């Protein structure tokens, strides 16, 4: 077998099949479609293993648009991440380099042009899902406190993202009930007029599955963030990701509202985020996601988002 064929055998077919369905419009501007990237992935993997002197040491783990392989380099355990180029991952290497292991996985090497990262190894089998929700939210908040540093000028702006996607939920034909659409529009005016709304480097997707435990015997902090969707924005934007995890633990009726607000309270207290600001940003964040769900004809998701908006409205 050739080295490319050897590399192809390391890549899960179900991951490749999923990535092939991604369109160029969903990816980085000027980047490949998912099908094009998947076709070249075995060759890319073989080249990177050779270029960086790596040996694969176990089966791959996969996400929505990336694959991570445990590797060895001169006996040291590391993780090799190859990702389909898309907007949300564009500044991942920049953010990890700026954080330098504080609150997040440590970046060892990066080749942004090939969308490849070499990272410290973490225990992918252990996420915050193993902790009770309050503790998981507290840990996440503590990580956010470390990650929230001044944003570098080259990172994308949250305000631009919000303006671009909010029109579907505040204009005519909104999927939201009229009162919710009007509240979203009012909050947008207030939040986006704040000159500090793009001042902080955000993780952008710090839910319970994006926090991993360190390896046994490590001298690093016990829990570290992975997979940032780095953006310059307001810290309050981060909280909403924690309201979408572990939905079966949110209950129904009055319990649902109480437990949603409890997660906000615990996270904000640990992160040092103003709770009222987090509620406002979470409301806007949820409204935008309702618009995406409606566009994708996901009625169950729209229903959940509307329930979440009711809970966040205090």
* Average pLDDT rounded to a whole number, residues 111-134: 95
The pLDDT value recorded for residue 175 is 83
Percent of the chain with pLDDT over 70: 96
In this structure, of 26-40, 94-108, 200-214, the range with the lowest mean pLDDT score is 26-40
Across residues 231-244, what is the average pLDDT? Answer: 96
Instruction: Identify the band that residue 91 occupies on the pLDDT scale cut at 50, 70 and 90.
Output: very high
- 3-120: CATH number: 3.30.200.20
pLDDT of residue 116: 96
Whether pLDDT at 164 is above 90: no
Lowest mean pLDDT among 4-13, 16-25, 137-146, 170-179: 170-179
Among 47, 205, 274, 298, the one annotated catalytic: 205
The residue-averaged pLDDT of 63-78 equals: 94
Q: How confident is the model at residue 314 (pLDDT cuts 50, 70, 90)?
A: low
pLDDT tops 60 at residue 28:
no
Q: Which residue has the higher pLDDT, 236 or 26?
A: 236
What is 127-312's CATH topology?
Aminoglycoside 3'-phosphotransferase; Chain: A, domain 2 (3.90.1200)
Q: In this predicted structure, which of 42-56, 71-85, 166-180, 204-218 has the lowest mean pLDDT?
A: 166-180
Secondary structure, 3-state, the chain? CCHHHHHHCCCCHHHHHHHHCCCHHHCCCCCCCHHHHHHHHHHHHHHHHHHCCCEECCCCEECCCEEEEEEEECCEEEEEEEECCCHHHCCHHHHHHHHCCCCECCEEEEEHHHCEEEEECEEEEEEHHHCCHHHHHHHHHHHHHHHCCECCCCCCEHHHHHHHHHHHHHCCCCCCCHHHHHHHHHHHHHHHCCCCCCCEEECCCCCHHHEEEECCCCCCCCEEECCCCCEEECHHHHHHHHHCCCHHHCCCHHHHHHHHHHHHHHHHHHHCCCHHHHHHHHHHHHHHHHHHHHHCCCHHHHHHHHHHHHHHCC
134 is catalytic: no
- 144: tokens are 């956010």
User: Is the confidence at residue 209, as pLDDT, over 60?
Assistant: yes
Q: What is the pLDDT of residue 221?
A: 96
Would you list the domain boundaries of the chain? 3-120, 127-312
């Amino acid at each position: 077998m050739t080295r490319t064929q050897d590399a192809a055998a390391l890549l899960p077919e179900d991951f490749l099949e999923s990535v092939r369905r991604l369109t160029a419009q969903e990816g980085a501007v000027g980047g490949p479609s998912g099908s094009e990237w998947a076709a070249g992935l075995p060759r890319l993997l073989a080249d990177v293993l050779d270029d960086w002197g790596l040996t694969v040491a176990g089966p791959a783990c996969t996400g929505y648009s990336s694959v991570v392989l445990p590797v060895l380099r001169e006996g040291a355990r590391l993780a090799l991440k190859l990702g389909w180029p898309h907007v949300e991952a564009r500044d991942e290497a920049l953010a990890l380099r700026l954080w330098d292991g504080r609150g997040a996985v440590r970046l060892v090497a990066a080749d942004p042009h090939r969308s490849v990262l070499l990272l410290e190894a973490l225990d992918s089998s252990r996420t915050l899902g193993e902790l009770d929700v309050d503790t998981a939210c507290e840990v996440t908040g503590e990580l956010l406190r470390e990650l929230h540093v001044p944003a570098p000028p080259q990172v994308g702006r949250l305000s631009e993202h919000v303006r671009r996607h909010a029109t579907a939920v505040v204009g005519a034909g909104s999927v939201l009930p009229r009162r919710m659409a009007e509240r979203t529009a009012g909050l947008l005016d207030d939040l986006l007029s704040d000159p500090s709304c793009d001042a902080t480097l955000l993780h952008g997707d710090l839910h319970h599955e994006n926090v991993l435990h360190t390896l046994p015997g490590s001298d690093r902090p016990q829990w570290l963030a992975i997979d940032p969707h780095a953006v310059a924005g307001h810290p309050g934007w981060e909280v909403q990701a924690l309201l979408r995890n572990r939905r079966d633990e949110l209950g129904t009726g009055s319990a649902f509202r109480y437990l949603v607000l409890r997660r906000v309270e615990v996270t904000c207290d640990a992160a040092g985020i103003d709770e009222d600001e987090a509620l406002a940003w979470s409301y806007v964040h949820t409204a935008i996601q309702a618009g995406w769900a409606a566009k994708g004809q996901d009625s169950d998701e729209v229903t959940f988002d509307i329930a979440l908006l009711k809970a966040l409205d205090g």
